[in-house]
Amino acid sequence: MVLPEVYLDAQIRNWVLVPISFTMFVVGVLRHFMNKLMTSTKATAELKSIREAQCVMRAGRLATNVGYIPHRAFRTKRYFFTNKETGALHEKIESKNDPMNPMASMASGQPADPSQLVEMMKKSMGMVVPQMLIFQWVSFFFSGFVVAKVPFPLTMRFRGMLQRGIDLNSLDVAYVSSLSWYFLNLFGMRGLFSLVLGENTIDDTAMMQQQMSMGMQAPEASKAYTQAKENLDLVMYRWFMPDMEGSCVNLLKQKVG
């Protein structure tokens, strides 16, 4: 079935599409500078906590990629981590809290740093309030407008994403509603903000994921150290390189044959 062509008036571009994009860009720039003003100059993570997390991550990488390094190199690296006297995974852990996740500290019964809670609340309000206001503004003034059309055909599954607020089955899926244009700008302006403001800018997607995972309790560093040390102790060394040539030949034979 061939759907009818819809011609978009230039006034819709001038008074709907451009104002939505321009407003969201200006609000994003203002949020960037407000976030700099509201965020304290105090470091959000202690150096020791970062070092602990990096140590666990390096030990996990060693256990996962053990077959790609020589046996002597593996023994040296495992000795560095698991030696009972000087091993990195045997160091004494002083702090049990994760300063990057104050909600996790509260869930575990540990007292959280009030300044961290205030910083978290500032970032949350700085993200939620402007986007709520813009969403209500778009819904109130521009509801039901068709503002753009993508230059390639799409399947019917994209209708719910590109035509929010328009219940019209006879309209081609390639057309974009005003409300969907708002969401496309919300998640698609990261590159523009990075170009204008630099790499150290606000990422709404990352902040939303952070808000969703706030209540999750992070494991204590001592437990993570113990788990990483046990994993390294149980690793059975087997070097993959001597068998790599035969594996590649067999893989090529399967692909060609």
Instruction: Establish if 112 belongs to a structural domain.
Output: yes
Instruction: Establish if 57 belongs to a structural domain.
Output: yes
Instruction: Establish if 209 belongs to a structural domain.
Output: yes
Instruction: Establish if 115 belongs to a structural domain.
Output: yes
| Residue spans of beta strands (DSSP E) within the chain | 146-149, 175-177
Instruction: Establish if 2 belongs to a structural domain.
Output: no
Measure the CA angle with vertex 72, ends 68 and 78; round to 5°. Answer: 80
Q: What is the pLDDT of residues 81-122, one digit of tens each?
A: 988 888 888 877 655 444 445 555 544 445 455 666 777 787
CB 172 within 8 A of CB 6: yes
Instruction: Establish if 198 belongs to a structural domain.
Output: yes
Structure-derived torsion over alpha carbons of residues 25, 27, 32, 34, reported in degrees to the nearest 10? 160
| Residue spans of beta strands (DSSP E) within 95-191 | 146-149, 175-177
> pTM to 2 decimals?
0.56
* Element at 64 (helix H, strand E): helix 47-64
Instruction: Establish if 122 belongs to a structural domain.
Output: yes
**Count: domains in the chain:** 1
Radius of gyration of the chain (CA): 27
What domain range includes position 246? 10-256
Instruction: Establish if 143 belongs to a structural domain.
Output: yes
Model confidence band, residue 237 (pLDDT cutoffs 50, 70, 90):
confident
CB 220 within 8 A of CB 96: yes
